[in-house]
Amino acid sequence: MKMLLTLAAVASLAGTNLSRAQQAPEAVRSPIVLTGADMRPATSLNGEWATIVDPYSNGFSSYFRNQKQQAGDTRPIEYDFSKSPTLKVPGDWNTQRDALLYYEGTVWYEREFTYQPKEHTRIFLHIGAANYRSWFWVNGKKVCEHEGGYTSFNCEVTEAIHAGGNFVVAAVDNTRHEDGVPTLKTDWWNYGGLTRAVSLIEVPETFIDQYDVHLARGAGATIEGWVHVVGGEAGAKVEVEIPELAAKTASVAGGDGRAAIHLEVSGLERWSPETPKLYRVKISAGRDSIEDLIGFRTIETRGTEILLNGKPIFLRGVCIHAEAPYRGGRAYSDKDAETLLGWAKELGANYVRLAHYPHDETMLRAADRMGLLVWSENPVYWAIQFDNPKVLAKAEQQLDEEIETSRNHAAIILWSMANETPNNETRTRFIESLASHARELDATRLITAALLVRAEGHTKIVDDPLGKTLDVIGANEYIGWYEQTPEGADTTEWRVAYDKPLIMSEFGGGAKAGLHGAENERWTEEYQADIYRHQLAMFNRIPQLRGLSAWILMDFRSPTRNLAGIQDGFNRKGLISDQGQKKAAFFVLQKAYLDRTVGKAE
């Protein structure tokens, strides 16, 4: 069985089995997004779930019923969750079972639970993430389906759940698709499964689904925003209270269910990397209330400056994949987040780029607590189908879910629309549309994207037309690794076509932890460290540079990295190995960050 699964997986990775999921129904978005879902009381469904591996997607005709063979029943039932092996949720299936490491296809999950619904309530099945397409049934009744592997969503189960014993069945298919977001090829592992937490959330019939509470730009202390109420009537009362500031305001919902918020406060301590102050904010509407932890700060640009709370800041940072330290697989826990972000703080970072997709609430909550500014990214990666309206709709859906769930995190200052996309008119229109959509959803943050740069001799040129749309320009470059030698950075000059802040969103090179040799010997820690030394000197010659995010904090799995004895299925550009071993380049960058010898001083 192990060999058969492995061979099927290899065929899938080669692109020979990409059509099998067409047997399953098309996935669409769930209509309810819950801001601050992790702050609501919930019944956890985490733990061991029974699973059936289904590479041909045969189970859509029957598995959701969770049938059992009854005595005297002669009909064949060729599955039984009660006799099936289990997988832990949250968690990817790839690293929990050797035979599934390369598997791409459908896996069925089943979990039984006891529940006692209350009157005049609505119940939602909350899924932190399921990669990539997923379908859910409760007690045999379909409750929702979803597409997108890195955002949370909610399935209403009010009519499906009953008092006493219940069961939930999920089908999750991580097959890659040409019209997916991201598309067929990525430089990270395609972890499948229920990769983030699953729970049941109970709310009143009239409830708060979304809210935006933030500090208005300027020198004052005005809290503004809005609260949206589902199921209420126009004129319904909404209250927002910040007890520590002795501040409270009331508003009424309009016909669209939205109530505007305006609150003058005194004694406000602004959130920053040095003082990551969070306030408990209570939001109430009728019988519903939610308490969130929110920091208040402003972010804007002025010419080539990035202003945090009205003052210039240089972003000293590093990129991070949602890859779990030590155990491997998809990161999901508080411990994962605290380890990764703890390393970033030790590096001297005040900022992290969370690549290349939205990370989960545990990471964002930790960034809020620890004082790390965040670049959050939509998974529009490399060459997706920019001429396909359905793909644009999928990208917008994932952007909606990213912003609507995460808009109250003080740590997030940048919404990134894309990474390393080809320069053509179709691509530019596609991402311009996304940027416009993001500004409609959230006008308080900056819009960016990681662009490719071109070269003329020893000059790097940043003139991608997409730059006209961005507030902050991101640029990826790998002098010393994919081009030239590390010394090439010494004679490289930069020309930026836009009078805007520039972040070097990626730079670096690979090394296997513990491999030592000469500075000119690839894959050694010495070679990687030498790249960083030359890069850091070059950065100080770029007048409008306002940030750095080295690629990358920790080694991570990638099916495209197959140099035996060195990569072994890992991208080795990490400053730290996946087992926590710091490489020489970590200390080179750490010294530059802590001594403030790189970048314009604040």
Q: What is the pLDDT of residues 316-347, one digit of tens each?
A: 999 999 999 999 999 999 999 999 999 999 99
For 275-287, the pLDDT digits (tens) are: 999 999 999 999 9
**If you write DSSP's letter for every residue of 546-566 in order, what string do you get?**
EEEEES-SB-EE-TT---TTT
Q: Of 306 and 601, which is predicted with more confidence? A: 306
Nearest to 174 by CA among 142, 143, 129: 129
Say how far residue 44 (Cα) sits from the centre of its chain.
22
Contact indicator for 30, 124 with CB cutoff of 8 Å = no
Q: What is the pLDDT of residue 19?
A: 39
Instruction: Please report which confidence band the pLDDT of residue 28 belongs to, taking 50, 70 and 90 as the band edges.
Output: very low
* Beta-sheet pairing, 164-173 with 106-115: antiparallel
Q: Is pLDDT above 50 for 16? A: no
Rounded to an integer, the average pLDDT of 582-602 is: 91
Q: Which has more pLDDT, 8 or 526?
A: 526
Does the structure show a pLDDT above 90 at 162? yes
Cα gap 9→17, rounded to integer Å: 9
Q: Whole-angstrom Cα distance, residue 45 to residue 126?
A: 10
Number of Cβ within 10 Å of residue 551's Cβ equals 25
* Element (DSSP H or E) covering residue 390: helix 389-406
Cα 538 from Cα 107, distance rounded (Å):
49
Q: How far apart are CA 46 and CA 49, in angstroms?
A: 8
C-beta of residue 310 within 8 angstroms of C-beta of residue 272: no
Residue 562 has pLDDT above 80, yes or no: yes
Q: Is 286 left (phi over 0), alpha (psi -120 to 50) or beta?
A: left
pLDDT of residue 30: 54
Pull the structure tokens for residue 71: 């005595």
Classify 369 as helix, strand or coil. helix
The pLDDT of residue 385: 97
**Cα-trace Rg, the chain:** 25
Residues 6+ apart with CB under 8 A from 292: 36, 39, 211, 213, 280, 281, 283, 408
Q: What does the pLDDT read at residue 18?
A: 35
Percent of the chain with pLDDT over 90: 91
pLDDT-based confidence at residue 21 (cuts at 50, 70, 90) = very low
Q: Give one word for 596, left, alpha or beta, with left for phi > 0 and alpha for psi -120 to 50.
A: left
Distance separating alpha carbons of residues 564 and 574, to the nearest angstrom: 17
Assess whether pLDDT exceeds 70 at residue 31: no
What domains are there in the chain, each with its CATH number? 2-204 (2.60.120.260), 218-297 (2.60.40.10), 300-594 (3.20.20.80)
Q: What is the pLDDT of residue 6?
A: 37
Average pLDDT over residues 358-379: 98
Higher-confidence residue: 70 or 189?
A: 189
Cross-strand pairs, 133: 147, 173
> What local confidence, expressed as pLDDT, does residue 71 receive?
79
Instruction: Give the mean model confidence (pLDDT) for residues 102-109.
Output: 98
Measure CA of the first residue to CA of the last residue in the chain; give whole Å: 60
pLDDT band at 258 (very low <50, low <70, confident <90, very high): very high
Q: Give the three-class secondary structure for 590.
A: helix
